[in-house]
Chain A
């Protein structure tokens, strides 16, 4: 059906997008790779020298690296645990018939549309602030000492904030998946005497598996690069208690002007993200075929 002419036209129509994305991917990444082998400090322009793998060595052996790597993983795993389990529970609840379904749905989804800086600052000031925050008022009301969330438990607090932003995403996707569940099969199982637990375990959960995988993989991509929430709440501190890999790269390259070291950190972050990406691409690729 497609003529030679239409094929040429098609190629012409695709090429701007392909060329732009190719340049976008290859140029900056190539530069990062190149910088990562240079001793390059913004404060000493023109003094760049080749250093081989030194930047990688220094980046990995600096005291902040391992905490940052562990914090990155804890942040991803913590948020995933809350949003996936919470998302399943919420989706099951919202899937039931009840009054005002539309309004509740809208309320549950709302946090996803709140920009990260607003979400983080609102939680930091209006809720977690140890003097005027709502939690402090509540603690005082029942005679407890107010708790300074962001300095006593910085990473956990950030996990809570990020989880609040992502819970709607997980819920929405799982709810969409639940609505395509075969009702008749469910009712048949119910009539055969299958209890709620076994219906959930043998019918609902298997049906949700694919969506759960998608939620986990997509969130992981975004959660590996959480940045704004850390910047406006703790600035990575106290010490390195809430520094993750992106934040470490940012502080090394743009706050300490160590371009070479920052670039090496960037490459490490890319490698980490790619490990996840490979799994995600396989998933999506499979769906494309069916």
Chain B
């Protein structure tokens, strides 16, 4: 880094970047603050809010009145379930496309991607009716299935781009040393593939956790994940700022933390490997 920057310029950039960063982050910071206030204090003017007392009350009330824990667990089960299922289907597929590519591998990958381009609303009606007829409306298993399928193309793609980077020579060396196919996969490839699989998993959990079309359409109460639960605050409950803030803070906290770990993979996964 041989860039010569004057101290004055660095100072200006620092101030500008911090100001803009703070403004962008502010709505999140604000709900965290409001979640520790009483309802009465939360609707006051910003300065009065800051100078008022702190309390954990809203967190207790949200859990007591609405069984927050159930919705939280629904989110966990649905996002983890769909991610694991997608990985189970995608790992062998991506594996064989990366290591035993055929003439049509590229077309196959492009076709998989094209299924992701279909807008959800185009299949809303039949899916809703199918779910109704099979008794899957408001069921966790139904949502796990749908989220697995909508994220499957991204999972295959991401894994493919990671597997592609594992050098083929290592495989040949292992084979020369007399490793069987089973040992080759277990002891040579798997350890090298773990980081890629882990990042794919992370990104997919984030996407599934925040998915807000099918979760809103196909659940109402028992299987409702946090997206749907928070949506129930849209009126008139939303006027209870402190409770909405507490519920929101708990809903976004796990993903914010996971997300910060996955910045790099995010770029790669969401651009289907087009930007690394």
B217 to chain A, nearest CB (A): 7
Q: Are B124 and A266 in contact (CB under 8 A)?
A: yes
CB contact between A283 and one of B129, B255, B274 (< 8 Å): that residue? B274
Say yes or no: A90-B124 contact (C-beta < 8 A), given A231-B234, A273-B119: no
A164 to B125, CA, bound (A): 30
A113 to B252, CA, bound (A): 7
Q: Count contacts on B: residues with CB < 8 A to the other chain.
A: 100
Q: Count contacts on A: residues with CB < 8 A to the other chain.
A: 109
- 23 pairs across A/B with beta carbons < 8 Å? A1-B172, A9-B100, A13-B95, A14-B92, A14-B96, A17-B156, A18-B93, A28-B126, A97-B1, A100-B18, A108-B20, A110-B24, A112-B259, A117-B216, A117-B227, A125-B239, A134-B30, A169-B270, A246-B120, A246-B121, A266-B119, A284-B113, A287-B274
Q: Are B25 and A126 in contact (CB under 8 A)?
A: no
- List the A residue with the shortest CB-CB distance to B18: A104
A225 at the B interface (CB under 8 A): yes
B residues adjacent to A (C-beta < 8 A): 1-3, 5, 10, 13-14, 16-18, 20-22, 24-25, 27-28, 30-31, 34, 43, 45-46, 89-90, 92-93, 95-97, 99-100, 102, 106, 108-110, 112-130, 149, 152-153, 156, 172, 181, 206, 209-210, 212-213, 216-217, 226-228, 230-231, 233-234, 238-239, 241, 244-245, 248, 251-252, 255-256, 258-260, 263-264, 266-267, 270-276
Q: Assuming A9-B100, A17-B89, A118-B252, what are 7 further A-B pairs, CB within 8 angstroms? A: A112-B259, A115-B252, A116-B212, A124-B238, A138-B46, A262-B125, A267-B122
Q: Are A227 and B121 in contact (CB under 8 A)?
A: yes
B112 to chain A, nearest CB (A): 6
A residues adjacent to B (C-beta < 8 A): 1-2, 6-7, 9-11, 13-14, 16-18, 20-21, 24-25, 27-29, 31-32, 35, 90, 93-94, 96-101, 103-119, 121-127, 132, 134, 137-138, 140-141, 164, 167-169, 172-173, 176-177, 183, 187, 210-211, 214, 218, 221, 224-225, 227-228, 231-233, 245-246, 249-250, 253-254, 259, 262-263, 265-267, 269-270, 272-274, 276-277, 280-281, 283-285, 287-288
CB contact between A104 and one of B17, B34, B124, B251 (< 8 Å): that residue? B17
A31 to B106, CA, bound (A): 29
Q: Are B271 and A115 in contact (CB under 8 A)?
A: no
Say yes or no: A172-B25 contact (C-beta < 8 A), given A17-B89, A20-B152, A183-B3: no
- List the A residue with the shortest CB-CB distance to B210: A115
Tell me which residues across on chain A come within 8 A of B271, comparing CB atoms.
Answer: 173, 214, 218
CB contact between B275 and one of A11, A24, A173, A246 (< 8 Å): that residue? A173
A28 to B267, CA, bound (A): 30
Tell me which residues across on chain B come within 8 A of A221, comparing CB atoms.
Answer: 116-117
A183 to B124, CA, bound (A): 49
Tell me which residues across on chain A come within 8 A of B206, comparing CB atoms.
Answer: 113
